[in-house]
Structure 1
Amino acid sequence: MKQQYHVISVAPRPFVKWAGGKRQLLPVISENIPTKFDRYFEPFLGGGAVFFSLAAKERKAKWFISDLNSDLVLSYVTIRDKVKELVSSLENHTAHYSKNQSGYYYNIREANPKNEIDKVSRLIFLNKTCFNGLYRVNSKGKFNVPVGRYVNPNIVNKENLFEVSKILQSKDISIKCQDFEDALKGVGQGDFVYLDPPYQPVSSTASFTSYTDSDFDFSDQKRLYNKFKSLDKKGVKVLLSNSKSDEIIDLFQEFSDGIMEINANRFINSVSKNRTGHTELLIKNY
């Protein structure tokens, strides 16, 4: 089975309260989440904005979160289990970065640490100091975003790191690195699934570079639709986010009564005046 990647408009940030462009949509998404569910599944976790907004409210449920990006999943696990060591490593990055921003950035970008603390610390450091907060890798899986222009980036956000760590330590939360089909095996009636896959490009130039080194193409969108449909037949409540593309609208035509258009801002454009609003879709079966 082909792997998929998860692309979001800015880097995955398990270490900020509401991550990336998804925080712009969070109020609308929250309004469309069922009031009751036994178990919550989110197999394209990314920055975790929706999950953390719900888990922080201490709703009584079992939480199953996952992503196919192994570095991202390692970040969540490390924040959960070794947050003090991670903070110390990030403070070390901050000290060195302040002395030579560009030189230190590219040294770390080229580094290939083996220790899990150093791996996650590197990921967070690059996320906080790279151009426009992008997370992008080339065909060889190498992070290739240039350094950003920041006066004083908040590399170590202790309060958020400890808050996220506390939430993730709950025995009711399961974190795994796996494909969405594997993550959704065993889902049944009474469960709620939120799907936030890599968005279908709305034009030939709108496809972002990989979040991992494998593409999530339209065949994967079809695979996801088939899973959406099979979950619907089981009586599972499913909510999905995607771009307003003709392909997605046609694909989910059977669920047209549950398609909502929402306005959102994207922050991927390097020219601030070009970061205009656009329309995205929320699709639900309930």
Structure 2
Amino acid sequence: MVEVMNNERVKPFLKWAGGKRRMLADIRSCVPEHFRRYYEPFVGAGALLFDLQPAEAVINDINEELMNVYRVIESDVEGLIGDLEKHCNEKDYYYKIRDLDLSEDYKKMSDLEKASRIIYLNKTCFNGLFRVNKEGHFNVPFGKYSRPNIVNERTLRGVSRYFRENRVKMMTTDFAEAVEGAGDRDFIYLDSPYDPLSTTSYFTSYSNDGFSREDQIRLHDLFIDLDRRGAFVLMSNSATPFIKDMYRDYRITFSSTSRLINADGSKRGRIDEVLVTNY
């Protein structure tokens, strides 16, 4: 573990669909005691990454906006904090910032300003839901929170310090490409968008590209390939018959957790999930 100063905390600073903070105890019980490098090709809010704080890691997400946030935090966290302070929790202002990606002004924004925009929207939008439409436009309505924590200086500085003092490679590519360098005794955590519990529950929040059954099959093929390379592989997914059957030759443990982020409030609550390992 990385030693962190008392005025800093290394933990997720974004709300993210599928975030693993509530599952961390179960996931920790599946983490190998010793490993070389850490790979997370669907990093999202990074709950396990920031919990383990590995000295060498490769993190990836297809969401370019998210990975830009991480890069800016690493390179200029003080500038980011300063820019976050300009935002206000007001409905008209929210929609002005939200709709910037529909205007030509968006192309003129710096990476720092784009990172500040995404953090602000995440803290003030409805239910902390990151969702884009087919055109790639962020389309979540205003959240009406009384006191959102827009500028979390302590955590942002802690995350920045972790990135700067360790070897953390950041990528925005296909999940299979993100783990091309993984090999013997490396640890890979696969936390892809989950197999839907029903035909109407697909959630494509991360980008304007969905994650299909064909992608789940491709992920399974990658799991087998990583196993052959001698890597430690841990995967989390929903406990659907499709997933349980596909990974029946590996060790499966079950976890039940609360899901607080869903566009449909009736679908929030406890769901059964699987943790699959090859060790």
Q: What is the TM-score when the length of structure 2 is the normalising length?
A: 0.89
Aligned-partner SS, 1:223: helix
**Alignment pair present for 1:263 and 2:256:** yes
Partner of 2:50: 52
Question: Which residue identity is paired with 1:24?
Answer: R
2:57 aligns with one of 27, 50, 63: 63
Secondary structure, counterpart of 1:254 in structure 2? coil
State the AA in 2 paired with 1:102.
K
CA distance in 2, matches of 1:277, 1:103: 35
Residue in 2 aligned with 1:35? 33
Q: Would the alpha carbon gap of residues 272 and 111 (structure 1) be closer, same or farther in structure 2, given more than 3 Å must change?
A: closer
SS of the counterpart of 2:34? coil
- Give the Å deviation of 1:125: 0.5
Measured after TM superposition, the shift of residue 19 of structure 1 is 8.8
Deviation string 1:109-147 (CA, Å, 9 cap, x unpaired) is 111332111101110000000000000000000000000
Indicate the percent of aligned positions where both proteins have the same amino acid: 44
> What is the aligned partner in structure 1 of residue 275 from structure 2?
282
Query: Which secondary structure does the structure 1 equivalent of 2:196 belong to?
Result: coil
Aligned-partner residue type, residue 53 of structure 1: D
Matching residue's letter, 1:281 = V
What's the counterpart of residue 146 of structure 2?
151
Q: Where do 1:1-286 residues align within 5 Å?
A: 14-16=12-14, 21-55=19-53, 61-94=55-88, 97=89, 101-112=90-101, 113=106, 114-255=109-250, 258-269=251-262, 275-286=268-279
- Does the 8 Å CA contact 1:14/1:75 hold for their aligned counterparts? no
Q: CA deviation at 1:20?
A: 6.2
Contact 1:17/1:52, CA 8 A, preserved across alignment: no
Q: Which amino acid aligns with 1:51?
A: L
Residue 122 and residue 76 in structure 1: after superposition, are their counterparts in 2 closer, same or farther (change >3 A)? same
Q: Which runs of 5+ in 2 are unaligned?
A: 1-10
Q: Distance in 2 between matches of 1:249 and 1:20?
A: 19
SS at 1:92's partner residue?
coil
Paired residues, number: 263
Provide the C-alpha distance between the structure 2 equivalents of 1:179 and 1:254, rounded to a whole number of angstroms.
25
Kept in 2, the 8 Å contact 1:17–1:49? The answer is no
- The residue aligned with 1:6 is none
Deviations 1:206-230 (A, max 9, x none): 2113310111101011101001001
**CA deviation profile, 1:159-199 (whole Å, cap 9, x unmatched):** 01101110111242111112111111121111111110010
Q: TM-score, normalised by structure 1?
A: 0.87
How far apart, in 2, do the equivalents of 1:254 and 1:160 lie?
40
Distance 1:277 1:188 in 2: 35
How far the C-alpha of 1:274 sits from its partner, in A, is: 6.2
